[in-house]
Amino acid sequence: MAAVEQWETEARRLGQRPLDEVDPEVAEAIGLERVRQAEKLGLIASENLVSRAVLEAEGTVLTNKYAEGLPGGRYYGGCQYVDQIEELARTRLCALYGAEHANVQPHSGAQANMAVYMALLHPGDTVLSMDLAHGGHLTHGSAVNFSGQLYRFVHYGVNRETERIDLDEVRAVAERERPALIVAGASSYPRTIDFAGLAEVARAVNALFMVDMAHIAGLVAAGVHPSPVPHADVVTTTTHKTLRGPRGGVILCRAAHAKAIDKAVFPGIQGGPLMHVIAAKAVCFREAAEPAFGAYQRQIVANARALAGTLAARGFRLVSGGTDNHLFIVDLRSQGISGRQAERALDEAGIVVNKQLIPFDPLPPMRTSGIRVGTPGVSSRGMGEAEMTEIGNIMADVLGAVGRERGGARSGTEGTTQRVRALTARFPVRA
């Protein structure tokens, strides 16, 4: 009887104890991460700061609900409310981009891409995509990724002189290889992508056309970058980069592919969807439809240009000469330092970037000759062009000091951390 009473007492208390009491180690790590995000400038192009509403939606009781299947056709009972939420997310996403069909269940952008390949291809089919070393993505055919192991990927890159996509090269490779699918989209390409031109190449070789717009989805939603939706058979994206939503993926497609796409997501590659994340996606899509979101996206681009311009004025070479979107790549070879060294030095100063291959990079991926810099996160904090000039000068001071240290001179970077902290204090993380 005592054991039963003890269990009843524990059951009543289940879920009522706070995190710092249940697991102080995890709580401490979360607290430290909160401080890190608040006190450092996040310039990683694939990261952003979500709104309070997105955070609230994701941290709800929806995490308790299993909901395999689609709204109106679940394999579990009790799905009437999660059906409403998923249908809101799906219809809002279609309206945001003018798409015929949407699936909001993929757990990530990688799984969205996997589902598309499964729906449209057979193992061993030929796919043409952008070379990872020139700015493409791991799931666009890297040999270490499922995509490169299950399908025969061939690649196009950027022109050595302009460092931009050359449609004539894409056309030549497509005519030679006759791919079943052409994939557009990139993870580190600072220029506008000509979706209409690439779609024309795909039609000329009777290939399907897919666009992975993960990095530029927010820009597209706001009309700051041309939309791939009118030109592509299928469009995938993450929701956590410029779109400023929770971590996850979605798929947009023509109605003709809807059934195959939905079947590939479930039961093809996933079981139950993450309903708490889908709720946060729905909130994100609503926020992206607001006029303020367009102003935010325009500020992201203005900030990227201002920050890139400051570094260029300080003597740093930019891949392709600049940027049209939310990111740019800095070539560090003239400074005599690697991307890995730059990443570490900037992090110590309170600025977070990632090392990045430049086109035709002589260094390996874990060292690199460049860094990738993006402005979605600092723009979410409310910073503008004046702050980008300040950040650019801090970065130039830090990176110049690293180069001097390699030459045996004193670094002279005292006070850079304080300069960063002054900025983050003026523009706090509000979520």
SS3 content of the chain, % helix, strand, coil (to 5): 50, 15, 35
Q: How many C-beta atoms surround the C-beta of residue 19 within 10 A?
A: 11
- DSSP letter assigned to residue 323: -
CA separation for the pair 417, 374 (Å, rounded): 20
CA separation for the pair 129, 57 (Å, rounded): 36
Q: Which residues are designated catalytic?
A: 66, 68, 212, 238, 241, 247
Q: Supply the Cα-derived Rg of the chain in whole angstroms.
A: 23
Q: How many C-beta atoms surround the C-beta of residue 24 within 10 A?
A: 11
CA distances 63 to 78, 95, 102, 275, 393, Å, are 14, 26, 22, 6, 44
How do 327-331 and 208-212 pair as beta strands?
Answer: unpaired
**Which 3 state secondary structure label does DSSP give 351?**
strand
Nearest to 191 by CA among 161, 221, 169, 162: 162
CA separation for the pair 322, 328 (Å, rounded): 7
Read off φ and ψ for residue 180, nearest 5 degrees. -80, -25
CA separation for the pair 282, 284 (Å, rounded): 5
Distance from first CA to last CA of the chain, Å, rounded? 47
- The residues with which 69 forms a beta bridge, in sequence order, are 74
Tokens read off for 375? 């402005």
